[in-house]
Amino acid sequence: MKKMNNKGILTWWASFAILVQVQIGIGILSLPRDVHNIAEGDGWISVLLAGLTIQLFVTVIWLLATRFNSQTLYEFAPKLVGKYLGRLINLAYSVYFLSMVFLTTLLFTDILKRWVLFKTPHLVIYVLVIGVAYYLAKDNIKVIARFYTFTAIFVILLIFILVPALVSFDIRFVLPVGQAGMNNIVKGIEEVTNSMLGFELLLVLFPFIDERYRRYSIVLAANGFVTILYTLIVFITITVFSPAEIKLIPEPVLYMLKSFQFDLVERIDLLFMSVWFVSIVTTLVMYLYVASFGITTILKRKSHAQVVAWCALLIITVLFIAEKDIYGIDNYVQALSNSSYLFIFVLPLILLSLSFIRKERGK
Amino acid sequence: MFNIFSKKNKEKNAFKNETRPYQTKSVSDQTLSNDLHKNISIIKESFADTADLVCKTINWNGKSGFLLYLETLVDNELIENHIIKPIKQAQEQPIMEVITALDLKESMKLPDVVQALTSGFCAFLLPKSSKVTLIKVSKQNNRPPEEPFNEQVIRGAHIGFIEDLNTNINIIRNQVQNPKLKVEYITLGKTVSTKVAIMYFDDLANKELITKVKERLQSISADIIQIPGYIQEYIEDRTYSPFPQTLNTERPDRLIANLMDGRVGIMMNGTPTCLIAPSTLISFFQSPDDYNGRVMIGSFYRFIRVFSFFVTIGLPALYIAVVSFHYESVPVELLFAIKSSLEPIPVPPLLEAIFMAVTLELIREATIRLPNPVAQTIGVVGGLVIGNAVVDANLVSNMMIIVIAITAISSFIMPSTEMSTTIRLLSFPLMLAAALFGLIGIVIGFLIIVIHLCKLESFGSPYFAPFGPLRWKELKDTIIRFPTWMLNSRPKDAQAVYRTTQAENPREWDEKNE
């Protein structure tokens, strides 16, 4: 029943849904503030440019993946750089994916504790979040894809939640366009890229996409959608809060929602958090699945279900030990965002050039 | 060590392979002899000398033959008219030409004779002959095919299946009138044998699906398969799931509609319930009424049903979460109303909710078993008296009564009893999650339910389709119902060979339509 070989089963919509939901993650809540600190009112331009930059990264990954049409990173890396170095790369990627799970859970728990579950111990939240992710990640990609195609509806719902912001909208906060200067706008790109990670999973997921579709169109559409959505959110947030206000609030999106009032529901931010939970879980599940998939390949196991369990346990343990104050979290974020460039750009580029030099290609 | 395993295996397979003396196949496989009295005594012995086995002497052609039958199974009039009368008038013709009954056969094997006798045949034995003539004279006492109580509709056919398999298939055949409707019989049960019919449209239903259904049915090795619930549990993919994975119905129109989608129907003798495989979650929300009413009305009620699904599962949990965690999220006026009703209640909202929900289940369960007039009394006592007194006694708040009452009513909206109980059961863990983690608990609960639904498969079809996997084109007949002329393809999850059901534009007269 649990066949490892499910290659070519993802439809256009399924792959689009997976890529979009992995990319939309924890970052967006604090993104407007982070990018405003650097690029001020021009933050939204940074987001647009970051989308373009990411398209460049994705293209590199896409070129690499199409050369090995039906093989995942874990299968073609040993062929390119030799058995041992290949395994090292696989292990590095698995650890990187796992640390993404770690960081996302850490950040999300931090926000949950500050906004909803004030008194609940950290450990309980970890177990809840990782537990739900484990329940899905232990199944095969077919089942996971079903879930993603369904939850994609919630992403559309997120856009509607932002509509009431248009009432307290002040366009002057972003004027004049280009106030921060080109330098700062470019610097802002770096900040945004961190919030839009997720496309690197394509290295592993690519062969699962059905070949009948134009696969680049999926990548382009997913990244385009996320870029536009992020730009919209950042633009709205920057225009709702004044530049002085936005510096004070760590999660501007949530504060913005909190200020809206309706007749029946007074705290939209709670509703938003509930829908947001789904987004976090979708990010976690894919990273967890892909990481354990890699470890399964390294260990030459048949089924990945057990590996997922061990990975989940490992992450909960590490989370339990990890520092949970703001400075500690900031350190992890810095460390991971610095090292992420290695995995999303440098390594794929090296592998791509190697495959050109050695003329290695999958069937 | 390995010996232990193999021994265990042997024991496991023992039931499947051996025939116990009480099972149907235990009749010794011997051929009858020429000795008439010996034959009769062997047959009587096979029937353990039961009292309703009648043995009558009849003279034919100067020889005294014996007529054997189970008097509780046969129609006396048929025996008189088709066996005794012709025999008395007969000359020297062979016996097979004398008897005027339709179903007539000869056999020399004891198991055949015994099998025939148990299914309403009567056996005619002659001296100095090992051949036994078997004549079908079974009695039919059927109730008329009335509308099933548990699946009533306002418009549409008011006819339902009954306990007799032949009548049921007759109803279907009469309506379908298509030679491609194929019926296959399997006899299940090693002691109590039950005839099971598998129905599908040949060349429309997927071959793999049919083999899968047959394979699962044939692998059943048990003493008794009495009710469809047994079959369901033997053949469904996951027993430990709250969701029913085969649709149960007593309505012929529902079965025919599903057969036309390319699904397989499983019927059995002795119950009016028919199983449909594969089924999806949404098929439990569809009722023939939706298609008989107008499009907008049908859509509205479909939407109400899906909405009530969420209300039943989530409303008590949401209320608990709001009053115990997120009271700041409701407007002040409403908050005052809730507060004043909650003030005198000594127990936490979770206990209140569970208390009321359990009371409701008690009333429901009690009214099912009781005769109608008493059931109404229980309804009054349970609903009105308990509801009123509980609030007066400050045990449960007014708000909670409202919440639980709405939940109960919306759970009964489901056209399928199985789904209605399932969702009421699911509301309990969600209440607990809400009491522990508030809104986040509810989200986690719903996530787990959705993940579980995504994992479920019914005979190889995704159970949660067309939502997960999301198939935009098939959403036409889910949360809302599109006009019939737009529903032009069969759902993919039915695995049918041909998908199209009607012409591109079935309303050809309407030129503006396109």
Interface probe, candidates A109, A112, A143, chain B, greatest B C-beta count within 10 A? A143
Closest in B437, B447, B451 to A117, CB measured? B437
Residues B190-229: tens digit of each pLDDT: 888 888 999 999 889 999 999 999 999 999 888 888 888 8
- Domains detected in chain A: 12-351 (1.20.1740.10)
Q: Tell me which of A147, A208, A283, A285 to substitute to probe the interface with B (most B C-beta atoms closer than 10 Å).
A: A147
State the nearest Cα–Cα gap between A135 and chain B, in angstroms. 8
ipTM: 0.92
Number of neighbouring beta carbons within 10 Å of residue B34: 11
Sign of CA dihedral B248, B251, B257, B263: positive
Q: Residues of A with CB below 8 A from B444's CB?
A: 128, 132, 277
Asked if B464 is an interface residue toward chain A (Cβ–Cβ < 8 A), one would say yes
Q: Where are the domains of chain B?
A: 18-136, 149-279, 290-462
Tokens representing A324? Answer: 């949970």
CB nearest B468 (choices: A147, A264, A265): A147
Of B325, B326, B468, the CB nearest to A146: B468
Residues ≥6 apart with Cβ < 8 Å to A41: A173, A174, A175, A177, A179, A180, A238, A243
Q: How far is Cα A241 from Cα A256, in angstroms, rounded to an integer?
A: 8
Question: Which of A11, A134, A150 is the best substitution to test chain B (most B C-beta atoms within 10 A)?
Answer: A150
Return the pLDDT at B10. Answer: 61
* Residue A179 CA: distances (Å) to CA of A32, A38, A39, A42: 16, 12, 9, 7
pLDDT of residue A5: 64
Alpha helices in chain A (DSSP H): 12-23, 31-39, 43-67, 73-81, 83-115, 122-137, 141-161, 181-195, 202-205, 215-240, 243-246, 252-259, 268-299, 305-321, 326-341, 347-357
Among A136, A146, A277, beta carbon nearest to B464: A146
Shortest Cα–Cα distance, A209 to chain B (Å)? 15
Rg, chain B, Cα only? 30
Kindly list the residues from chain A whose CB atom is less than 8 angstroms away from the CB atom of residue B437: 117, 120, 128
* Closest residue in chain B to residue A13, using alpha carbons only: B470
Question: Which of 317-336 (B) contact A at CB < 8 A?
Answer: 325-326, 328-331, 334
Give pLDDT tens digits along chain B (514 positions).
Answer: 455 555 556 666 777 777 877 787 778 888 888 888 888 888 888 888 888 888 888 887 778 888 888 888 888 888 888 888 888 887 777 777 888 888 888 888 888 888 888 888 889 888 888 888 898 888 877 788 888 888 888 888 888 998 888 889 988 988 888 888 889 999 888 888 888 999 999 889 999 999 999 999 999 888 888 888 899 999 988 889 999 999 999 999 999 999 999 999 999 988 999 999 899 999 999 888 888 888 999 899 999 999 999 999 999 999 999 998 888 888 888 888 888 888 888 889 999 999 999 988 888 888 888 888 888 888 788 778 888 888 888 888 988 999 999 998 998 888 888 899 999 999 999 999 999 998 999 999 999 999 999 999 999 899 998 888 888 888 888 888 888 888 888 888 888 888 888 887 788 787 765 5
Q: B509: exposed, middle or buried (C-beta count within 10 Å: 0-12, 13-18, 19+)?
A: exposed
> Choosing among A146, A258, A276, which should be mutated to test the B contact, i.e. which has the most B CBs within 10 A?
A146
Residues of chain A with pLDDT under 50: 1-4
What pLDDT is attached to residue A2?
Answer: 39
Q: Does B238 reach chain A within 8 Å, measured CB to CB?
A: no
| Chain A residues near residue B443 by CB distance under 8 angstroms | 274, 277-278
Q: Give the gap in angstroms from C-alpha A87 to the nearest C-alpha of chain B.
A: 32
B70-84 pLDDT, tens digit each: 888 888 888 888 888
Say how far apart CA B364 and CA B379 lie, in whole Å. Answer: 8
- Which of B444, B468, B472 is nearest residue A150 as measured by Cβ atoms? B468
